[in-house]
Amino acid sequence: MLSTQSATVVRATLPAVGASLGAITELFYRRLFEERPELLRGLFNRANQANGAQREALAGAVAAFATALLERPDERPDALLGRIANKHASLGITADQYTLVGRHLLGAVEELLGDAVTPAVAAAWDEVYWLMAHALIAIEARLYAEACVENGDVWHDMEIVERVEESPDTASFVLSRRDALPTEPFLPGQYVSVQVELPDGARQIRQYSLSTAPGHKTWRITVKRERSADGRVPEGEVSSWLHAHGRPGRILKVSLPFGDLVLPDGEGPLLLASAGIGVTPMLSMLDHLTATAPDRPVVVVHADRSPAQHAHRLELSEHVSRLRHASLHLWYENDADAPGESGTRAAHVHEGQAAVSGLTLPTNTTAFLCGPLPFMQAVRSDLLAHGLAPAAIHYEVFGPDLWLSK
Ligand SMILES: Cc1cc2nc3c(=O)[nH]c(=O)nc-3n(C[C@H](O)[C@H](O)[C@H](O)COP(=O)(O)OP(=O)(O)OC[C@H]3O[C@@H](n4cnc5c(N)ncnc54)[C@H](O)[C@@H]3O)c2cc1C
Ligand code: HEM
């Protein structure tokens, strides 16, 4: 909880700091990477730096945390902190790195706001930073302890033992431990970080959801290749590298699994709604349900460009057909009536944008969403209108979460 003295100062300066957070986080990263260029090449996602997404996520998170401290001082914003801490844990972030980040973040505030940053203002924002930092450090320490690792030691070598082309732009990679021991346990919906060394020598890290159930001897990730749109933006660095070089026998550095979008045990009804490559965490959940809870009521909704571009189309329908009370609703922008589509078992196939408003969903449904933000926002609005509680709607963003802090 923020001290009374600092709360007064933070309340008075939040509008000014909040209005400058975009500039503050931009300067923060510039100063951080001037001092430690290896962090940009080896830890941070340089596409998220170039397109501004990570600056926006950091600014949003700091503003949301400061606002929560003032408006709900007795509550910890666990959803916000948990999402960040899981991402940090999958990167092996350590407690000592918070001192460096804090120095540059608070330094950027002082540099940009100048004389407005009196010693009292600096002290109050230092307190906000360290409250957030200590909360994150504590959750990360718990995550590391649960994973039985010390000090962010989350990386290990895994070998690609199989590659499967799932659609023209999507390939699955089956991963096995090199020491032939069983893979570590995880919860359906979680992801791993994968690091690759690019031709310019930079090491870049990306996250990929595990797309089969836990408990197998191997893990599987499914990667969509990010193509360059009209040559205006570069093609995705890591997904292109994996598509070009990810063959059986290749060793990858992969983190232990983390992530806060996880399937709860129980018997309550579920909605799994995905679009495009957002199907991956849903596949893991469905695979798990077929083995552990085949009677659980599940409605599966998936949207894609066309049946041909829909990765794991048959696998999705096979999982659904193994569940006794499940239905599958597919929406395609094009070719919904392509020959063979009617053969997708148990599926209701539609053309156009996905809509869940016409589905029969019990109001105690727990919903899991994964896909582009506009898709998830539309589905969430429909679900709220349908009577689902906001707390029953969970989602994963395949990038910095710019939704959580809005
Ligand atoms: C929790 C989580 C789970 C995920 N699970 C999956 C999964 O199961 N499968 C999957 O395929 N992906 C998944 N992702 C996404 C994945 O982590 C990567 O983001 C994705 O593969 C793209 O990475 P990349 O290196 O190929 O592209 P990047 O190089 O990171 O580029 C990303 C985008 O930014 C654009 N860009 C790059 N540089 C610039 C610039 N200078 N200006 C403007 N735009 C630019 C690129 O054109 C591209 O469109 C997940 C992400 C998260 C966070
Ligand atoms: C209080 C301090 C911090 C805050 C508020 C913070 C906030 C954030 C947020 C909001 C994200 C995006 C999470 C998501 O939506 O997935 C993130 C990711 C990340 N953070 Fe932090 N962070 C802090 C400290 C640190 C530290 C100490 C490091 C280590 C140098 C670090 C390194 C990273 C990296 C590498 C990413 C992923 C970046 C990307 O993929 O673009 N963070 N952090």
Q: Which one of 3.10.20.30, 1.10.490.10, 3.40.50.11710, 3.40.50.2300 gives the CATH number of domain 4-146?
A: 1.10.490.10
Note the pLDDT of residue 335: 84
Query: Is pLDDT of 339 > 70?
Result: no
Q: Which residues contact 28 (CB under 8 A, 6 or more apart)?
A: 58, 104, 105, 107, 108
Residue 100 has which token pair? 């460096």
Do β-strands 219-224 and 251-255 pair in parallel, antiparallel, or remain unpaired? unpaired
Question: Which residue from 21, 69, 87, 207 has its CB within 8 A of the most atoms of ligand 2, so it is best to mutate?
Answer: 87
Assess whether the C-beta atom of 226 lies below 6 angstroms from ligand 1. Answer: yes
Query: Is pLDDT of 390 > 90?
Result: yes
Closest listed residue to residue 253, CA positions, set 165, 199, 188, 177:
177
Assess whether the C-beta atom of 398 lies below 6 angstroms from ligand 1. Answer: yes
**Catalytic residue numbers?**
98, 140
Note the pLDDT of residue 122: 94
What is the Å distance from ligand 1's center to 226 Cα?
7
Note the pLDDT of residue 186: 96
Note the pLDDT of residue 229: 76
- Identify which has the larger pLDDT, 168 or 342: 168
372-381: average pLDDT: 95
Query: Is pLDDT of 341 > 70?
Result: no
pLDDT bucket at 47, cuts 50 / 70 / 90: very high
Mean pLDDT of all residues belonging to the chain: 93
Q: What is the pLDDT of residues 119-150, one digit of tens each?
A: 999 999 999 999 999 999 999 999 999 999 99
| Percent over 90 (pLDDT), the chain | 86
Assess whether the C-beta atom of 258 lies below 6 angstroms from ligand 1. Answer: no
Sign of the dihedral defined by the CA atoms of residues 26, 200, 208, 193, in that order: negative
Q: What is the pTM of this model?
A: 0.96
Q: Residue with the nearest Cα to atom 50 of ligand 1?
A: 398
Residue 148 has which token pair? 């039985």
Assess whether the C-beta atom of 313 lies below 6 angstroms from ligand 1. Answer: no
Ordered by start, the domain boundaries in the chain are 4-146, 155-255, 270-396
Domain 155-255 matching CATH 3.40.1190.20: the answer reads no
CA end-to-end span of the chain, whole Å? 22
Closest listed residue to residue 207, CA positions, set 194, 198, 221, 190:
194
Note the pLDDT of residue 161: 97
Note the pLDDT of residue 310: 95
Name the CATH architecture for the domain at 270-396.
3-Layer(aba) Sandwich (3.40)
Closest listed residue to residue 211, CA positions, set 171, 158, 264, 155:
171
Residue 350 has which token pair? 């539609």
Ligand nearest to the CA of 66: 2
367-382: average pLDDT: 96
Note the pLDDT of residue 298: 97
